[in-house]
Chain A
Amino acid sequence: MSDELLHVDSFSICFDTLDGTVKALNDLSLSIGRKEIVGLVGESGSGKTVLGLSIMGLIPTPPGRIVSGRILFQGTDITSLGQAGMENLRGTGISMIFQEPMTSLNPVYTVGNQIEESIKLRIQRNSEEKTASKESVRREVLEALRLVRIADPERVGKRYPHELSGGMRQRVMIAMALAAKPALIIADEPTTALDVTTQAQVLQLIRDLVEEVNASILIITHDFGVVAEIADRVDVMYAGRIVEERQVADIFEDPKHPYTQGLLHSLPYLKKAEQRLETIPGSVPSLIHIPSGCPFHPRCKYVMKECSEVEPASRNVENGKVACFLYGSDR
């Protein structure tokens, strides 16, 4: 793919702990195109946040240890950039929006100050822009707040985070991320802490902004609903692996991997009260003791002999890939 912005290539990372080695990501590949919204879905402990932090270069080593693979951002392997190189990329190259805006905003600065910081950072790094006046930065702060549909940017810019509602704080986080004009935004559960009516507003905002600001977004979530509302393409994670990767409409209309099927059918959405919910027996495995072969095989209702022996490689299906022996032979 020529317009590929990010390519995670057979990436494995583990953490050495007293209880054993946590194999958080295992031979994981994922790519994000320009102006694309990719949804990364998985249950807790599937490794989705570790992937987000790995792309940001925020995994401390030790205890983290990259076992294999590369992360290519605009063609450069960012795992070999080192601290200084990564610091230059954060914010202006790749930016991150966290789940809980209250803990990620600084409580002792006004939100205007905090957005200003990310604008100044960008100007400092970009040689063409070096001569920004105070006035133009101030104007840009207001512009950034207006971009995230904050009605009264003059007033809100002077507020401290605790004076704003949860939805407003998340808008400010998005404004901060966008003000640095990154090519890629990683949003880790950006609406999980919000109410459903607020979530709908924020998702709509993110959808509209991708059109306006020319950025790609990796949205990390446990909620298939969020993915359905916003993503172009979906990657489903299980035990540190991508088990299915599809276009968004296809995954909801015709999920292939038994895990994806099980998850989607376990949701009470549109289920009649008389119907029982489908369940997936057991629970998500610990990443220290990952089952042999296909990590999902102990919970899978279609399990075959080979599933416990060999891990299925990902194979092509209609508009995507799936790592399951039910679908043809290895690619």
Chain B
Amino acid sequence: MHSTSFSAQNLTKYFVSASRLSRSVKQHIRAVDDVSFEIHSGETLGVVGESGCGKTTLARTALLLTPPSAGKIFLNEKELTNLSPAQLRAMRAHMQIVFQDPISSLDPRMRARNIVMEPLSIVPDKTKAEKDEAVAEIFEKVGLNPEHLNRFPHEFSGGQRQRIGIARAFVTKPSFIILDEPTSALDASVQSQILNLLKDLQREFQLGYLFISHNVDVVRYMSNRIAVMYLGRFVEIGDAREIFSHPLHPYTEALVASVPKLSPRNRSKPKVAGETPSPIDIPTGCRFHPRCPYAQDKCKTEDPQLTEVEKGRWVSCHFPL
């Protein structure tokens, strides 16, 4: 199998909102701000960040579900950002998404069979029988009972519904999948079933994953490489094992320090004060400086660039740890 890849170059998404006081004053929400990444087949890039950092906008923009304000997207070196809607539609079979909430992302009036079959409508030259076969095959692969194909979403448990969402994403045999918080709505015992399933499917189909989550433990477990996102930017990228054991960016350090340790004799101490500011008023200079325990004068004025400090290790900080 030849190697495939999905990449984003300087991807940016601004939303414009009118000010509450005056319609003529426009405010820019910089949800995703100059983000670049590349994912190879069989590889998982994890994106971790807190609410409002732009994770979901990144997912939607990367798949061109919403047009980017700037930047380019490539699938197997073919640029997608300059395609016509019809051409893009034909490419969609190769890139799919699994959403967070398995209740609102499944149409309650469609049977499981039709939900999973729907994406096949963009795959050309498939007979009805072939489609039925593809659906039954993937249904079983994700651990669902093919006898339940005619059931409606409400007849499944939360974990099973997420399996339907996964089957729907995999049925077109894509080469790249975005998983946007795929287990956040699930209980712990079900979460582990889904994470194992996603790993098995990746091994079998050699897919590239962009795995988005706010849960540091889940991202660390699932990913080869991890990008830490803060206010629309990647502030640090590195090997999944390295990045959390030896963080270079103060925000990564704070994030790791805040994660509960499951070790009551060794409780964690919060490293940062305050909360993520609104993406409407992004701080000047380094966007983390108001919360950073190590901030110096330079950090208030100069915006640090994401630079490669070791092979494969990128950080945007004037004074990396």
Contacts and interface: CB of A to CB of B under 8 A. Distances in A.
A124 interface: no
A196 B190 contact: no
Given A165-B275, A196-B216, A198-B275, A229 B192 contact: no
A89 to B, nearest CB: 31
A174 B157 CA distance: 35
A263 B260 contact: no
B189 A204 contact: no
Nearest to B199: A276
Contacts of A269: 217, 262
Given A195-B276, A269-B217, A271-B221, A224 B188 contact: yes
B275 A166 contact: yes
A313 interface: no
Given A43-B189, A195-B276, A200 B257 contact: yes
A268 B275 contact: no
B254 A197 contact: yes
A279 B193 contact: yes
B220 interface: yes
Contact of A197 (B158, B217, B218, B272): B272
Contacts, number: 122
B195 A249 contact: no
Contacts of B188: 43, 222, 224, 263, 266-267
Contact of B260 (A201, A223, A249): A223
Interface in A144-168: 165-168
Contact of B264 (A43, A167, A252): A252
B44 to A, nearest CB: 9
A267 B193 CA distance: 11
Interface string A203-239: 1100100000000000000111110110100000000
B254 to A, nearest CB: 6
Contacts of B255: 196-197
A284 interface: yes
Interface in B270-301: 270-273, 275-276
Given A268-B221, A276-B196, A283-B159, A167 B275 contact: yes
B189 A280 contact: yes
A198 B259 CA distance: 10
Contact of B192 (A223, A226, A267): A267
B185 to A, nearest CB: 10
Contacts of B217: 267-270
A273 interface: yes
Given A267-B192, A269-B217, A269-B262, 20 more contacts: A44-B187, A195-B50, A196-B258, A197-B258, A197-B270, A197-B275, A200-B270, A204-B269, A225-B259, A225-B260, A225-B262, A229-B260, A229-B261, A229-B267, A263-B189, A266-B189, A267-B188, A267-B262, A268-B192, A279-B192
Interface of A: 43-44, 165-168, 195-201, 203-204, 207, 222-226, 228-229, 231, 248-249, 252, 262-264, 266-271, 273, 276-280, 283-284
